[in-house]
Amino acid sequence: MPHLLVELSYQTAAHHWGDPALLSFDADKATIHLDPNQSSDEQNMAIQKAARKIDGLDLQGIKFAGEWQLEQQWMFAFSFRRPRNAQPVVWLDNDDKETLEQRYAALEFTRDMVNATPEELSPEALAKRSIDWITSLAKDAVSVKQWVGEELADAGWTGIYNVGRGSVRPPVLLELDFNPGLNDQEPVAAALVGKGITFDSGGYSIKSSEGMLNMKCDMGGAATVTGALGLAIMQGLNKRVKLFLCCAENLISGHAYKLGDVLTYKNGVSVEIVNTDAEGRLVLADGLLAASETKAPIIIDAATLTGAAVAATGGDYNALFALDKAALKNFMGCSEQENEMVWPLPLEIWHQDKCPSNFADTANSRAQKGGGAGGASNAAGFLSRFVANQGDGWVHVDLAAAYNSNANAFLPAGATGIGFRGIAKVLLDA
């Protein structure tokens, strides 16, 4: 069956299609009718709605026809691509095609990783898939180091080790070095850190069945930063960047970490465990320490970290945190240029003390549901303890918009991929 042709029109559809009609059809062609008086953002939202409706027809694929701007094609494809049996998209054969192909490759990688079942995507499999994809884009420029299982404990990566030790599938810290100049003395321009919890039961602070259902997505941060690095490489990144993925399964067993445990990190900070479901910040702390060791002037971490961020932004925006307000402003500008919605939430140095402990320098949360008031900021405050130079150049992205439990009028169910374009832009502009 040939692909359905899809074109844009700024004319009103014939009355029998509805008043006003977003879509009309003629033989092998669908026409999306846009309101010329609306803003480009409103028109893009209409394109997204049309893409979801067309995907609902269960076609064999679509082919763009007529006149489309680059971002219009992208928004359609972004909303059209379903998680299961995704159908092909044929771009217009013009100057935008290469850019769209690069973005779409990064989108496919990011979404497919997040949507993978937790059985197939163990911590080691997450690391391997990331290595394989980045290496396929820049083989000679990539080197890799990994700490697996007990090697983490021996090396002092206490957060990843303890969160992951309850599973029979070992945790992993991956360090991937993209060094296009092949010079070991080349300074690291940026470091990326991703939360890679391939499944999160909550540990002994166990989630409900409903809350656990979508926890395959808890490695969305790792997928997002890897997708961002891959996109930047395809778009000509010529600076050295290190990628740190903090990979573990948070499960219950006789060897799992427990409430009341105290972990001491490489920088000497001791942490009392008051909630084993606040595990993301524990693994990211190791990644941030490793990133800080590179002396990179830009450090970005991404994580599906808190429900509090989702409550604040409604799942439409990713939440941003930074002590360095210039770095925050730069990240927001890059995201805006890439049409990704982000929103800053409060973070000050005193947020480090919002999770007090009688037995350690800090607790990993507050012993309240959801971590209590300001939970997203308190989590960011915890992370800030593990970044060098008072957080200069560091931005924390809480990926509130990373995953949809169900399809809606604008996006399919599952991973969204929102976030990788903005991060790639920061790398390219560094």
- Indicate which residues carry an active-site annotation: 207, 281
Residue 222's closest CA among 8, 5, 3, 419? 419
Look at the alpha carbons of 274, 265, 212, 249 in this order and tell me if their dihedral is positive or negative.
negative
Strand order in the sheet with 394-398: 142-148, 172-178, 241-250, 190-200, 299-303, 394-398, 318-321, 342-344
> Could you please report the per-residue DSSP string of 264-305?
E-TTS-EEE-S-TT--HHHHHHHHHHHHHHTT-S-EEEEE--
- DSSP-based helix, strand, coil % in the chain, nearest 5: 40, 20, 40
CB 263 within 8 A of CB 274: no
H/E stretch holding 89 reads strand 89-90
> Could you please report the per-residue DSSP string of 20-35?
T-SEEEETTEEEEE--
Give the relative orientation of helices 420-429 and 97-115 as an angle to the nearest 10 degrees: 130
**Distance, C-alpha 414 to centroid of its chain:** 13
**Quick one: DSSP state of residue 354?**
S
- What single-letter amino acid sits at 87? Q
CB 280 within 8 A of CB 365: no
Q: Which residues contact 16 (CB under 8 A, 6 or more apart)?
A: none
What tokens were used for 97? 């095609």
Strands 190-200 and 299-303: parallel
Give the relative orientation of helices 420-429 and 220-234 as an angle to the nearest 10 degrees: 50
What tokens were used for 309? 């961020």
Say whether 61 sits in a helix, a strand or coil.
coil
H/E stretch holding 403 reads strand 403-404
Q: Which residues contact 39 (CB under 8 A, 6 or more apart)?
A: none
